[in-house]
Amino acid sequence: MRAHNFCAGPAALPTEVLEQARNELLDYQGLGVSIMEMSHRDPRFVEVAERAEQNLRTLMGISNDYAVLFVQGGASAQFSAIPLNLAGLGGRADYLVSGTWSKKAAAEAARYIDVNVVSNDIRRVAAQSEWQLSRDATYFHYASNETIGGIEISNEPIVDVPLVADMSSNILSKQIDVNRYGVIYAGAQKNIGPAGLAIVIVHKSLLGKESQQCPATMNWANLAEAGSMYNTPPTYSWYLAGLVFDWLLKQGGVEAIEKVNAEKARRLYQFIDESAFYSNPVELDQRSRMNVPFLLADSGLDKRFIEESEAAGLMNLKGHRSVGGMRASIYNALSLEAVDALVDFMAQFERKYG
Ligand SMILES: *Cc1c(COP(=O)(O)O)cnc(C)c1O
């Protein structure tokens, strides 16, 4: 029996996807070898890779003005790749810091370029009118969902320069207009597939602006030119991502999963808000639909909450070590039933100890 897995990342994958991977593991489509054991140049792997890209383009409505790259090093490698690839535009960029991840991205970029932090508050996102934008920034970076703080920015910032967004923990969770962005990137291990793989969606007009120092393996123009096969790509992760895209299309695509995600979040937050025992610290209009941190009224009960929830088949509810408490990550692969099971458990726990 599969547990309900609320892990923030690497996160739950759809059971059907894992079943298909298991069925094909030893013998990919009668070839007698695993897809893991095939050359990335093999036409049958190339077909898998191209199909994954095509399906992602369909799911997100990505036009041919954008290159879609499948890269290694997770989202964090892009913290460096972004300034290195865009440095040719000029030496200064604006960064909105709204939590742990955007803070890390800004710190890494500062190794290469001049970083202007427009606002720095990890408990809430300041209104755009309060941001200190620089006059000569060449791009604007933000994280659309802060996985640890549970803060989501639902409307794109309105800026005059290319928008660069870390969507690691909310990509494919809701419809967005890709055309508003210069660069979208995401580590795969939340809503796409296995850790290590990241996806970069970059407007083609931003290719070829890299600095001399940009490593070839991180050079977007180089990767786009080579179909993400400048060196050996993470083939198995790419294949698994493709299975997740197939699965998502079968669910009705992003539009359909967005409705489920909204309902999952609504039920969980409503329960937390109506309870005197649980609380969530995030302002209503900035609450994440993907990561729901919550505190128990008595933190002395945290350990017991974790033990009893695991015994009930609800895994990985412990909050991030930097903030404590609990966190339920409810990505695409988490069903409405999983959220109902969590709410039932929380209600029971409150009756017992509250
Ligand atoms: C998980 C996460 C990252 C880091 O991803 P890695 O693949 O570990 O580098 C970056 N940004 C956000 C918003 C994340 O949720």
The mean pLDDT values, 10 residues at a time, for the chain of 354 residues are: 96 98 97 97 97 98 98 98 90 96 97 96 90 95 97 94 98 98 98 97 97 96 98 98 98 98 98 97 96 97 98 97 94 98 98 93
At 354 the pLDDT is 85
Question: 278 C-alpha vs ligand 1 centroid, how far in Å?
Answer: 27
> Which pLDDT score, from 0 to 100, does residue 158 have?
94
Q: What is the per-residue pLDDT for 242?
A: 98
Record the tokens describing residue 230, joined without a space.
């400048």
Going 167 to 171 to 176 to 177, the CA torsion angle's sign is positive
pLDDT of res. 89: 78
Neighbours of 221 (CB within 10 A): 17
- Matching residue, tokens 């993470």: 234
Catalytic residue ranges: 101, 166, 190
Task: For ligand 1, atom 12, name the residue with the nearest CA.
Answer: 168
Q: What string of DSSP letters covers 258-300? A: HHHHHHHHHHHHHHHHH-SSEE--S-GGGB-SSEEEEEES-GG
Tokens of 148: 């640890």
Which atom number of ligand 1 is nearest to the Cα of residue 145?
13
Pairwise CA distance, residues 13 & 18, whole Å: 7
The model scores a pTM over 0.75:
yes
Asked if 315 and 305 touch (Cβ cutoff 8 Å), the reply is: no
Is the C-alpha dihedral spanning 176, 100, 273, 290 positive or negative?
positive
Maximum CA pair distance of the chain?
62
Ligand 1 atom with the smallest distance to the CA of 169 is: 15
**Nearest residue to 171 via CA among 149, 193, 196:** 193
At 36 the pLDDT is 97
The predicted structure's pLDDT at residue 250 = 98
Atom 14 in ligand 1: which residue has the minimum CA distance?
A: 168
Q: What are the pocket residues of ligand 1 if the criterion is a CB atom closer than 6 Å to any ligand atom?
A: 9, 74-76, 101, 143, 147, 166, 168-169, 187, 190, 195
The residue type found at 335 is: S
Who contacts 253 (Cβ-Cβ below 8 Å, separation ≥6)? 58, 59
